Amino acid sequence: MSAVPSLRHLLLLRPRLRFIALSTSSSPFLSYAPSHHFSPSSLRVLSSSSSPTLTQEEADEAVGKGSSLIDVNPPRGTRDFPPDDMRLRNWLFQNFREVSRILSFEEVDFPVLESEALFIRKAGEEITQQLYNFEDKGGRRVVLRPEITPSLARLVIKQGKSVSLPLKWFTIGQCWRYERMTRGRRREHYQWNMDIFGVSKVRGEAELIQAIVLLFERLGINSSDVGIRVSSRKVLQAVLQMYAIPDNLFTQVCVIVDKLGKITREEIEKELLSLGVSIQAVNGIIEVLSLKSLSKLEEVLGSEEEAVSELKKLFSLAESYGYADWICFDASVVRGLAYYTGIVFEAFDREGKLRAICGGGRYDRLLSTFGSEDIPACGFGFGDAVIVELLKDKGLLPDLAHRVDDIVFPLDEVLDGTASRIASSLRKKGRSVDLVEDKRLKWVFKHAERIGASRLILVGNSEWERGAVRVKNLSTREEFEVKIDELV
């Protein structure tokens, strides 16, 4: 608890601090978590959590006996947000919020800690196998939520008849997964969710996709950078019916075939066969999933099939909205969540370098799995990771430096009251004011540049005797003497 650190402490500690400062200079935003609900290859991190940490022994040695240096990193797989990263996050979230407002969605939120029961599903999804779960002191099973949709559904059930349908809600929140850490993975990300309850038509999906496209456009991304692949779980459902595979296998089949491209075809076959799906059906499923054209799908399934008519309707609406060039049919899109029942979609970079940017779909039967009446619903999740990687690749990251209006600097200690008065009066007008003391003028000028200050207000004795201050406009380099009561 000594306030005066030993010289040895200072000397030994400094290299450590410098190293950490360097290792955090690459933004955690650029090495990020995934899109809609975590995908297996996601959560790569290059920065914070991989910065080497002193062993306890080394730390003890470095700081001498008595007080050892704590681990200055956040828990493994999590991020701090220093000012630069926070500005980027706020900017991104602000765009999420603005698009949600334009689509007339209302914001909601839920506890990051939820009951585990809300996330226990038996379909074998990765998301439920990597729950960040605990037992609390009261013996309750709780979990840092891996996704937000179940909380949303819970609140819809809780609100019951008091809400009028359709209900259009969005939320931005942190989601967690627990998996064995290999180097460069992350355990948390933030996710923007937009969900519609009470719209059974594909209008719901069409609105969600417009929101995603509007977001991309606001960020400066165009349809030659990014596309949105669309399919429907009803395609798979129709194929299962063709092969007389029982309905109760549907969800598990979806979860398995979602892994196509992530694990080998042989492994997929093996998993499907072990469910009791015949080899003919397996081949049929994989063949249909390779279709990239809606007219081909119509040939295979027939135009009467719901999967086909809904997809055609969505593509027709896309023409009306004006985002047809952003979307394409791709039967291989299944998405990894158990509860999707209809149209599913995901945004991808056309260069194919990144993981899915976001994903979503229709989940008309989620509420009944919670014991309530079903309400038709659809939604998407849009992570804060891949989008930032993409923006960086495209050179679209905004310049978000700290911006301050005025620096007030008393040139003499006896003027600290006067400086307070001036700062206070400017602040009451809404200007952002940094009051600086006990520094050299040279430092103040450097500081002004660093924080992007517009004006420097120097409070000096001789000017003050005339009831004035010196004001330096930092962009024009002009300098004036201004009477206190004329300062605005």
Question: Which residues are known binding-site members?
Answer: 147-149, 177, 191, 195, 335, 339-340
Q: How far is the CB of 401 from a second copy (least distance, A)?
A: 11
Per the structure block, which two tokens stand in for 32?
């990020």
The order of strands in the sheet holding 433-435 is: 433-435, 406-410, 455-459, 468-473, 479-483
Q: How far is the CB of 5 from a second copy (least distance, A)?
A: 5
Q: How far is CA 132 from CA 42, 112, 487, in A?
A: 16, 11, 55
Closest to a second copy by CB, 3 or 352: 3
- Distance CA(341)–CA(360), nearest Å, equals 11
Give 173's strand partners: 191
Tokens 């081909």 belong to residue: 296
Determine contact, residues 287/156, Cβ cutoff 8 Å: no
Determine contact, residues 175/146, Cβ cutoff 8 Å: yes
- Cα 451 from chain centroid (whole Å): 27
Closest to a second copy by CB, 180 or 352: 180
Closest to a second copy by CB, 144 or 471: 144
Packing angle of the helix pair 386-393, 83-102 (nearest 10 deg) = 100
Q: How far is the CB of 266 from a second copy (least distance, A)?
A: 30
- Distance CA(383)–CA(203), nearest Å, equals 23
Determine contact, residues 240/249, Cβ cutoff 8 Å: yes
Q: How far is the CB of 117 from a second copy (least distance, A)?
A: 6
Q: How far is the CB of 299 from a second copy (least distance, A)?
A: 25
Closest to a second copy by CB, 10 or 263: 10
With a CB cutoff of 8 Å and minimum separation 6, the contacts of 194 are 100, 103, 105, 168, 169, 170, 208, 211, 379, 380
Q: How far is the CB of 175 from a second copy (least distance, A)?
A: 12
Closest to a second copy by CB, 249 or 286: 249
Q: How far is the CB of 145 from a second copy (least distance, A)?
A: 11
Q: How far is the CB of 420 from a second copy (least distance, A)?
A: 4
- Distance CA(391)–CA(135), nearest Å, equals 40
Closest to a second copy by CB, 174 or 223: 174
Element (H, E) at 318: helix 306-321
- Distance CA(483)–CA(299), nearest Å, equals 82
Closest to a second copy by CB, 116 or 393: 116
Q: 225, 256, 233, 259: which is closest to 386 by C-alpha?
A: 225
Per-residue DSSP letter, 391: H
Residues at the binding site for L-histidine are: 147-149, 177, 191, 195, 335, 339-340
Q: How far is the CB of 270 from a second copy (least distance, A)?
A: 26
The order of strands in the sheet holding 132-135 is: 113-115, 141-144, 132-135
Closest to a second copy by CB, 44 or 89: 89
Closest to a second copy by CB, 68 or 332: 68
Q: How far is CA 296 from CA 290, 318, 402, in A?
A: 11, 20, 54
Pairing state between β 455-459 and 343-349: unpaired
- Distance CA(373)–CA(365), nearest Å, equals 9
Q: How far is the CB of 126 from a second copy (least distance, A)?
A: 15
Closest to a second copy by CB, 66 or 261: 66
